[in-house]
Structure 1
Amino acid sequence: MEIIYETFMGRLGKNPELKYTAKHEPVCKLSVAIDVKNQDKPDWKRVIVWGEQAESCKLYLKKGKEVFVQGRMRVREFKDQNGELRSITEWNARLVGFPNT
């Protein structure tokens, strides 16, 4: 399996979703819209942030805010309610940057 690292900048499409694992580790989901040249619609990226960065994202970010992400792409597979195999592409963030305003 090829590991792909990517750096991108975009805007949040919704407020960050912060949860805690069974081991009390913070994890935050971000939905980031990236403007693509010559396209009418943005490219959407699902971003997963861990640890203290996850808590900072929940504290300082909200829908519409600009965010910088550096992370690793992964494809996660799961079975849906009907037992069909589905896959989701997401980025595990190594670094998340945002203005503090």
Structure 2
Amino acid sequence: MINKVILVGNVGADPEVRRFDSNTPVANFRMATSETYTDKQGVRQTNTEWHNIVAWRGLAEIVEKYVKKGSQLYVEGRLRTRSYDDANGVKKYVTEIVADTMKLLGRREGENQNDSYSYGQANSAAITSQVDAIEAEGSDDLPF
């Protein structure tokens, strides 16, 4: 079976990064994706979907350093649904994407339009290298 999600969108608010007792970081943020189409009357419509993204360990550290509200991201991960009981004892369900891979897209604040491509390409490559190195360290934890 395959459980794979690929998203390209914009971060809706600054990520929240927490650390557990073992100092394991986890980052949570919401990301918007949009679809634009023309309806039967010829009117252009845009539908926006919001996604809850969760990043762990090394990827969470990269989110903490580089991702902020408005960042454009490419995210690959898997879909997970979990449940919990709220304060009133009502069961709530949360669907989220657990990120495996992330790339920063677009340009950094303060850069002009001509610099955006080289920054995005260099920055994405640097972050991908960091994530690969972090994942290689923990490769003994793989279940297969």
TM-score by length of 2: 0.64
- Kindly provide the CA deviation profile for residues 29-71 of structure 1, in whole angstroms up to 9, marking residues without a partner as x: 0210001233534100000001111111111111011011000
C-alpha distance in 1 between matches for 2:75 and 2:63: 11
Which residue among 55, 59, 84 is the counterpart of 2:65?
A: 59
From the two aligned structures, give the one with the greater strand fraction. Answer: 1
Q: What is the aligned counterpart of 1:96 among 93, 102, 110? A: 102
Q: Is the Cα contact below 8 Å between 1:16 and 1:57 reproduced in 2?
A: yes
Aligned residues: 100
Match of 2:41 in 1: none
Give the TM-score taking structure 1 as reference length.
0.90
Where structure 2 has 5 or more consecutive residues not aligned to the other structure, the ranges are 38-44, 109-144
Question: Corresponding residue for 1:70?
Answer: 76
Which residue does the alignment assign to 1:86? 92
State, as a whole percentage, how many aligned pairs show the same letter.
28
Corresponding residue for residue 23 of structure 1: 22
Q: Does the CA-based 8 Å contact 1:3-1:73 persist in structure 2?
A: no
Whole-Å separation in 2 of the counterparts to 1:21 and 1:81: 22
2:12 alignment partner in structure 1: 13
Greater Rg by CA: 2
- SS of the residue corresponding to residue 22 of structure 1 reads coil
> How far has the Cα of 1:22 moved from its partner?
2.1
The one of the two structures with greater contact order (alpha-carbon pairs below 8 A, sep at least 6) is 1
| Structure-2 separation of matches of 1:45 and 1:3 | 19
The two structures, once aligned, show a CA RMSD in angstroms of 1.7
Cα distance in 2 between the residues matched to 1:12 and 1:95 = 15
Greater share of residues in helix = 2
